[in-house]
Amino acid sequence: MATDATHDAAPARISGAAGQSPAPAAGAREGAAVSLRGLSRSFGQVRALDGMSLDIAPGELVALLGPSGCGKTTALRIVAGFEAADAGQVLISGKDVSGIPAARRDMGMVFQSYSLFPNMTALDNVAFGLRMRKVGGERRKQRAAELLELVGLAAQARQHPHQLSGGQQQRVALARALAIEPRVLLLDEPLSALDAQVRVQLREQIRALQQRLGTTTLFVTHDQEEALSMADRVGVMRAGRLEQVAEPPVLYSRPATAFVAEFVGTMNRVPGELAAGGARVTALGATVAAHDGHEAAPGPVDVLVRPEGLSVTAAGDGNAIVTARTFRGAVTRVTVLISGQAEARIDVPSAEAAAMPPGATVQVTLPAAPVLVAPRRAASDAPALA
Amino acid sequence: MAAVTQAPPARPASAPARARRGRLPAWRWAILAVAGIYFLLPLYAALRFAGIKAYGSVFSRTGFTDALWLSVRLAIVTTLITLALMVPTTVYVHLRLPRLRRLLEGITILPIVIPPVVLIVGVLQVAPGSLKATPWLLALEYVILAMPFAYRAIDTGLRALDVKTLTEAAGSLGAGWGATLWRVILPNLRTAMLSATVLIIALVLGEFTMASLDLYETFPVWIVQFDQTDAATSVAASLGALFVTWIVLMLITWAGTRQARRTGGGEVTLFTVARTDTPTGS
pLDDT of residue A160: 93
Based on the fold, state whether residues A188 and A297 are members of the same structural domain.
no
Whether residue A82 has pLDDT greater than 70 = yes
Contact B170 A128 (CB under 8 A): yes
- Cα A184 to Cα A45, A49, A59, A127, distances in angstroms: 31, 21, 9, 18
Based on the fold, state whether residues A232 and A293 are members of the same structural domain.
no
Whether residue B270 has pLDDT greater than 50 = no
Question: A241 forms bridges with which residues in the sheet?
Answer: A238
DSSP state of B180: I
Query: Is any Cβ of chain B less than 8 angstroms from the Cβ of A101?
Result: yes
Residue at A139 is within a domain: yes
Query: Is any Cβ of chain B less than 8 angstroms from the Cβ of A192?
Result: no
Question: A47 forms bridges with which residues in the sheet?
Answer: A42
Lowest mean pLDDT among A15-24, A115-124, A194-203, B207-216: A15-24
Query: Is any Cβ of chain B less than 8 angstroms from the Cβ of A118?
Result: yes
As for how many domains chain A has, the answer is 2
The shortest C-alpha distance from A218 to chain B (Å) reads 15
Based on the fold, state whether residues A238 and A281 are members of the same structural domain.
no
Whether residue A385 has pLDDT greater than 80 = no
Contact B172 A108 (CB under 8 A): yes
Based on the fold, state whether residues A115 and A225 are members of the same structural domain.
yes
Edge-to-edge, what's the strand order for the sheet holding A34-43? A46-56, A34-43, A87-92, A95-96
pLDDT of residue A30: 67
Higher-pLDDT residue of B173 and B4 is: B173
Q: Parallel, antiparallel, or unpaired: how do β-strands A280-283 and A311-314 relate?
A: unpaired
The shortest C-alpha distance from A100 to chain B (Å) reads 12
Of A203, A233, A258, the domain-final residue: A258
- Of the candidates B174, B176, B262, which has its C-beta nearest A129's C-beta? B174
Specify which of A15-29, A163-177, B105-119, B214-228 reaches the highest per-range mean pLDDT: A163-177
pLDDT band at B259 (very low <50, low <70, confident <90, very high): low
Based on the fold, state whether residues A322 and A366 are members of the same structural domain.
yes
pLDDT of residue A161: 92
Residue A317 CA to residue A386 CA, distance in Å, equals 23
Statement: B2-7+53-272 belongs to CATH 1.20.58.1610: no
Name chain B contacts of A128, Cβ cutoff 8 Å.
Answer: 170, 173, 175, 183
The shortest C-alpha distance from A237 to chain B (Å) reads 24
Higher-pLDDT residue of A303 and B252 is: A303
Query: Is any Cβ of chain B less than 8 angstroms from the Cβ of A174?
Result: no
What number is the average pLDDT over the span B47-65? Answer: 78
Name chain A contacts of B9, Cβ cutoff 8 Å.
Answer: 162
Name chain A contacts of B175, Cβ cutoff 8 Å.
Answer: 103, 128, 132
pLDDT band at B262 (very low <50, low <70, confident <90, very high): low
Chain B residue at shortest CA distance from A121 = B263
- Cα B61 to Cα B73, B90, B280, distances in angstroms: 20, 43, 18
The three-point CA angle B12-B17-B18 to 5° equals: 105
pLDDT of residue B133: 77
Based on the fold, state whether residues A237 and A96 are members of the same structural domain.
yes
Residue B42 CA to residue B163 CA, distance in Å, equals 45
What is the domain range of residue A236? Answer: 7-258
Whether residue B97 has pLDDT greater than 90 = no
Whether residue B42 has pLDDT greater than 60 = yes
Based on the fold, state whether residues A222 and A132 are members of the same structural domain.
yes
Query: Is any Cβ of chain A less than 8 angstroms from the Cβ of B265?
Result: yes
User: What are phi and psi for residue A116, nearest 5 degrees?
Assistant: -65, 150
Residue at A380 is within a domain: no
Based on the fold, state whether residues A58 and A193 are members of the same structural domain.
yes
Query: Is any Cβ of chain B less than 8 angstroms from the Cβ of A177?
Result: yes
Question: Is the ipTM of this structure higher than 0.90?
Answer: no
pLDDT band at A8 (very low <50, low <70, confident <90, very high): very low
pLDDT of residue A185: 95
Q: Which amino acid is at A103?
A: A
Residue at A263 is within a domain: no
pLDDT band at A229 (very low <50, low <70, confident <90, very high): very high
Contact A102 B168 (CB under 8 A): yes
> Any residues with CB less than 8 A from the CB of A208 and at least 6 apart, and which?
none
Give the start-to-end residue ranges of the domains of chain B.
2-7+53-272
Residue A191 CA to residue A203 CA, distance in Å, equals 8
Contact A102 B11 (CB under 8 A): no
Closest among B195, B131, B133, B121 to B160, alpha carbons compared: B195
Query: Taking a C-beta distance cutoff of 8 angstroms, is the pair A338, A320 a contact?
Result: yes
Question: What CATH number does the domain containing A177 carry?
Answer: 3.40.50.300
Chains A, B: CB contacts within 8 A come to 83
Residue B8 CA to residue B21 CA, distance in Å, equals 19
Based on the fold, state whether residues A17 and A89 are members of the same structural domain.
yes
SS3 A55: strand
Helix (H) or strand (E) holding A175: helix A166-179
B204: how many CB neighbours lie within 10 A of its CB?
Answer: 28
Of A258, A282, A310, the domain-final residue: A258
Query: Taking a C-beta distance cutoff of 8 angstroms, is the pair B197, B83 a contact?
Result: yes
pLDDT band at A29 (very low <50, low <70, confident <90, very high): low
Based on the fold, state whether residues A42 and A145 are members of the same structural domain.
yes
Write out pLDDT tens, residues B15-33. Answer: 444 455 556 788 888 999 9
- Of the candidates B166, B179, B265, which has its C-beta nearest A115's C-beta? B166
The shortest C-alpha distance from B251 to chain A (Å) reads 21
Write out pLDDT tens, residues B152-164. Answer: 889 888 888 888 9
Based on the fold, state whether residues A81 and A52 are members of the same structural domain.
yes
Residue A238 CA to residue A72 CA, distance in Å, equals 9
pLDDT band at A277 (very low <50, low <70, confident <90, very high): confident
Question: What CATH number does the domain containing A364 carry?
Answer: 2.40.50.100
pLDDT of residue A65: 94
Based on the fold, state whether residues A254 and A272 are members of the same structural domain.
no
Contact B172 A113 (CB under 8 A): no
Residue at A342 is within a domain: yes
pLDDT of residue B269: 45
Lowest mean pLDDT among A109-118, A376-385, B192-201: A376-385
Query: Is any Cβ of chain B less than 8 angstroms from the Cβ of A113?
Result: yes
Whether residue B93 has pLDDT greater than 80 = yes
Contact A162 B171 (CB under 8 A): no
The shortest C-alpha distance from A171 to chain B (Å) reads 14
Whether residue A17 has pLDDT greater than 50 = no
Residue B198 CA to residue B154 CA, distance in Å, equals 12
Lowest mean pLDDT among A27-41, A136-150, A322-336: A27-41
Of A200, A223, A258, the domain-final residue: A258
Residue at A381 is within a domain: no
